Amino acid sequence: MSGTARLSRVTVYSLLFVLLLASRPFTVLADDHLAAIKSSGVLAWGGDAEGGGPYSYPDPEHPEKIIGFEVELADALATRLGLKAKMVQNQWDQLIPALDRGSFDIILNGLERTPENQQHIAMSVPYFVYAQQIVTRKDTAGLDTVEKLKGKTVGALSGSASLKLLENTVGIDVKNYPGNVETLRDLKAGRIEAVVLDLPMAQFYAAPEPDLKFAGDSFAPGYYAVGVRKEDANLLASVNQALIEFTRDGTYERIYRKYNVWDGRQASLKDFKADAVVQKKAISTLREWPKYLPLLLKGATTTIKISVLAMALAVVAGLVLVLVRMYAIAPLRWLAQAYVEIIRGTPLLIQLFLIYYGLPEIGIKLNAFFAGILGLGLNYAANESENYRAGIQAIPRGQTEAAQALGMSQWQCLRHIILPQALKLVIPPVTNDFIAMFKDSSIVSVITMVELTKVYGMLAMSTYDYIGLGLMTAGIYFALSYPASLFANYLERKWSYDRR
Amino acid sequence: MIVVEKLIKSYNSNRVLHGVDHAQERGQAVVLIGPSGCGKSTFLRCLSQLEIADSGRITIDDVSIEGGRAPRNSIERERQRQLRMRAGMVFQQFNLFPHLTVLQNITEAPMVVKGVSREEAEEHAKMLLGKVGLAQKAESYPAQLSGGQQQRVAIARALAMQPQVMLFDEPTSALDPELRDEVLKVMRDLAEEGMTMIVVTHEMQFARDMADQVLFFEGGLVAESGPPEQIFGDAQNERTREFVSRSVRK
Ligand SMILES: Nc1ncnc2c1ncn2[C@@H]1O[C@H](COP(=O)(O)OP(=O)(O)O)[C@@H](O)[C@H]1O
Ligand SMILES: [Mg+2]
């Protein structure tokens, strides 16, 4: 009897313990996060200061200091919660996954309060009313509504509400950009006809440009709100409370007037009533692969085109480079050597930016496709020329002497004796570079090319299924590079003359 | 037919040839002997213009070149090419082209340098391969041949340019002893056909049998020259006698 009673008491305690453990993630942890923030004394907020005016941007006078209306708002918010604000720099279109990872506690960076964004994170009451603005060049007429943008090439910021709005309008050729500055630069360069962006950015970046103008009135208003992880319900409640107080005590008006973003619309912040957000089911792109795989494959064709053409350019240009470097007259030789050293000593990203955004300033305007091929190709040409050089130097001196003794000129010797042997030697390193090129080609997304990695990023941003899409994308990259290395092995075997 | 006058050659500040004189008639086989490092290879490399002499004059047949500087214009380059085509070089290390078949090794230079047609070049090459006893190896690659076979291909390759003189730089030194005779036999045949030759070798028996004239090189000069009977039997120079007796004992 007593044995049974003791046993049952142990069972009850164990059950209670298990329940306690199981309930932690739902209740205790949510409480704890606000508590953890409070005990640390720091409110970490995520934002992007690169091209982030007037939200958060480096002070032109003191570039080490980040200023902006959101910086001051973050300070006010933190103060209200008894904390100190600390900004964490993060690329804008990756703020939500970074919040998820725990890189910071809240997002405060022009994040639109849209149903899409609220699928994955919780959003506060709004702190700003934005609207969309069309910007064109001074000499462009008539593009003053979204309707009139049909048939035109129009740029917008990656992951923004403006982009979504353009993509939902049939017939617009939409280009998406990593930053505002690049978008407006391409508008000035004439690569695109118009840009749609949030009004504050338009006022900050486009209004001062003498060549650009606002086309039509601002439209499609929406709200910016603070983003919080879904489980941080208490943090959200505290943020909401603080923001509602800001509508009453004039904090918004004071800060926004300072940055010249106060307008009549902001007065409506205090009347905000939240709509219930309909939660959609989480998307599994792996299960729905027939819908997503073709989109990724379409991106992959761009990746293939760019990689193959850029590599073809690199292989040929690299050969010219190495011949000039090793056999031409002195000044040309130095030039080729300087080219190789400079290209290898500077980042590919900068080279691409110079080609795509820099060359138009001296009148050379390439579209993104050719700029991408040129940038990658010329970059890889430097590597290939070094591969060739190693190959040529690996050919024994006796080969040249034998050819010369037979009366061959330097060029005949190079063409018939040295290069055929050297080119076979460089198959493995050149193939390695070709495989690397498939992966490196993803960098052309920064100049608006939509290739495999970019498609992955865009789909992941809208589905939040980073893992499923990631597996599919990685699978495609592998399917591209594996045959390339098989082919190289085959060539090596086929062309080997020194094995019996 | 070959005249070398006061040939001087230095590597940096190290003078290797101190004014070599040499004259040779068409059809003569000359053997160069001498201690290692005395400049024998350098001498042959100057003749085939793989090295540019500091001064002196080299004449082969109707082409004559002064030392002093590398050719700088097309006329000088053409003259150098003419001289090179008149001298066929056979290297110690064969230096066959590994990416080409045996046949292609032989036809490449006539086609590229002289513009001979493929048919003509191949016909000539097959004849030469027969002569060096390798007719059945035309389609092999050098790596598939023994050292002795490779050196015979190298001889055929040099002959394909129809040179006036054949230069051999220790053609059997890189070979195992049992492979040397097949190469020496080819050279013997060539000499008997009347090919003009200069051979650097340590094969004293070969020198004794074949040479019309033997040059003993020492310290960058021809210390003694004469018919083989003199050099091997009755050398005038003390150092020659020493070298010969040491070499024969070996
Ligand atoms: N490319 C070179 N650079 C510098 N010195 C060299 C070079 N080739 C040969 N020598 C030197 O020249 C001398 C003669 O060399 P070589 O003609 O090869 O002699 P041999 O063939 O009689 O043994 C040697 O002392 C050698 O070290
Ligand atoms: Mg030597």
In order along chain A (500 residues), what is the average pLDDT of each group of 10 residues? 45 48 43 80 91 86 90 94 92 86 91 86 92 93 90 90 88 88 90 93 90 91 92 90 90 92 86 71 80 92 95 96 92 95 93 88 86 95 95 96 95 95 90 91 87 89 84 93 87 66
pLDDT value of position A494: 77
Q: Pick from B91, B113, B157: which is nearest to A398 by CB? A: B91
With contacts defined as CB-CB under 8 Å, which chain B residues touch A424? 99
Q: Is the pLDDT of residue B33 over 90?
A: yes
Q: Which of the four pLDDT bands, split at 50, 70 and 90, describes residue B171?
A: very high
pLDDT, tens only, A436-467 = 999 889 999 888 888 999 899 888 877 878 88
The count of CB pairs under 8 A between chains A and B is 70
pLDDT value of position A319: 95
pLDDT, tens only, A184-240 = 999 998 889 999 999 999 999 998 899 999 999 999 888 999 999 988 888 999 999
pLDDT, tens only, B144-158 = 999 999 999 999 999
The CA B107 to ligand 2 mean position distance, Å, reads 28
- Chain B: closest CA distance from residue A408 (Å): 6
What is the distance of C-alpha A487 from the center of its chain?
32
Interface test with B, best of A392, A406, A412, A496 (most B CBs within 10 A): A406
B36 Cβ inside 6 Å of ligand 1: yes
Question: With a CB-CB cutoff of 8 Å, which residues 415-454 of chain A face chain B?
Answer: 416-417, 420-421, 424
pLDDT value of position A6: 47
B11 Cβ inside 6 Å of ligand 1: yes
Mean pLDDT value across residues B141-146: 94
Calpha distance A116→A119 (Å, rounded):
5
Integer-rounded Cα radius of gyration of chain B: 18
Mean pLDDT value across residues B81-85: 93
Q: Any CB–CB contact under 8 A between A412 and chain B?
A: yes
Q: Pick from A405, A421, A499: which is nearest to B84 by CB? A: A405
Sign of the alpha-carbon torsion through B141, B147, B149, B151: positive
The CA B37 to ligand 1 mean position distance, Å, reads 6
Tell which one of B9, B13, B14, B16 to mutate to probe ligand 1, the residue whose CB is within 8 A of the most ligand atoms: B16
Cβ-defined contact of B84 to A406 (cutoff 8 Å): yes
B40 Cβ inside 6 Å of ligand 1: yes
The CA B200 to ligand 1 mean position distance, Å, reads 14
Look-up of token digits 């292609």: B104
Calpha distance A331→A339 (Å, rounded):
12
Say yes or no: ipTM exceeds 0.90.
Answer: yes
With contacts defined as CB-CB under 8 Å, which chain A residues touch B92? none
Domains of chain A as residue ranges with CATH: 3-125+224-271 (3.40.190.10), 128-223 (3.40.190.10), 289-495 (1.10.3720.10)
Residue A383: other Cβ atoms inside 10 A? 20
- Chain A: closest CA distance from residue B103 (Å): 14
For residue B43, the ligand closest to its alpha carbon is 1
- Chain B: closest CA distance from residue A333 (Å): 18
Which atom in ligand 1 lies closest to the alpha carbon of residue B38? 22
- Report chain B residues touching chain A, CB-CB < 8 A: 48-50, 77, 81, 84-85, 87-89, 91, 93, 95-99, 108-109, 112-114, 141, 143-144, 154, 157-158, 161
Calpha distance A152→A193 (Å, rounded):
6
Cβ-defined contact of A402 to B81 (cutoff 8 Å): no
Strands B29-33 and B213-218, sheet pairing: parallel
- Chain B: closest CA distance from residue A399 (Å): 6
pLDDT value of position B250: 57
For residue B91, the ligand closest to its alpha carbon is 2
B39 Cβ inside 6 Å of ligand 1: yes
Q: Any CB–CB contact under 8 A between A462 and chain B?
A: no
Ligand 1: which residue has its CA nearest to atom 16?
Answer: B39
pLDDT value of position A22: 45
- In this prediction the pTM is 0.78
Q: What's chain A look like in SS3?
A: CHHHHHHHHHHHHHHHHHHHHHHCCCCHHHHHHHHHHHHHCEEEEEECCCCCCCCCEECCCCCCCEECHHHHHHHHHHHHCCCEEEEEECCHHHHHHHHHHCCCCEECCCCECCHHHHHHCEEEEEEEEEEEEEEEECCCCCCCCCHHHCCCEEEEECCCHHHHHHHCCCCCEEEEECCHHHHHHHHHHCCCCEEEEEHHHHHHHHCCCCCEEEEEEEEEEEEEEEEECCCCHHHHHHHHHHHHHHHHHCHHHHHHHHCCCCCHHHHHHHHCCCCCCCCCCCCCCCCCHHHHHHHHHHHHHHHHHHHHHHHHHHHHHHHHHHHHHHHCCHHHHHHHHHHHHHHHCCCHHHHHHHHHHHHHHHCCCCCHHHHHHHHHHHHHHHHHHHHHHHHHHCCCHHHHHHHHHCCCCHHHHHHHHHHHHHHHHCHHHHHHHHHHHHHHHHHHHHHCCCCHHHHHHHHHHHHCCHHHHHHHHHHHHHHHHHHHHHHHHHHHHHCCCCCC
Calpha distance B48→B42 (Å, rounded):
10
Quick one: tokens of A370? Answer: 């050719």
Cβ-defined contact of B84 to A407 (cutoff 8 Å): yes
Calpha distance A102→B17 (Å, rounded):
79
Sign of the alpha-carbon torsion through A479, A485, A490, A494: positive
B201 Cβ inside 6 Å of ligand 1: no
Interface test with A, best of B86, B99, B164 (most A CBs within 10 A): B99
∠ Cα A153 A155 A160 (to 5°): 140
pLDDT value of position A500: 39
- Among A263-267, A306-310, B56-60, B180-184, the minimum mean pLDDT is found in A263-267
Calpha distance A456→A437 (Å, rounded):
18
B209 — phi, psi (to 5°)? -75, -45
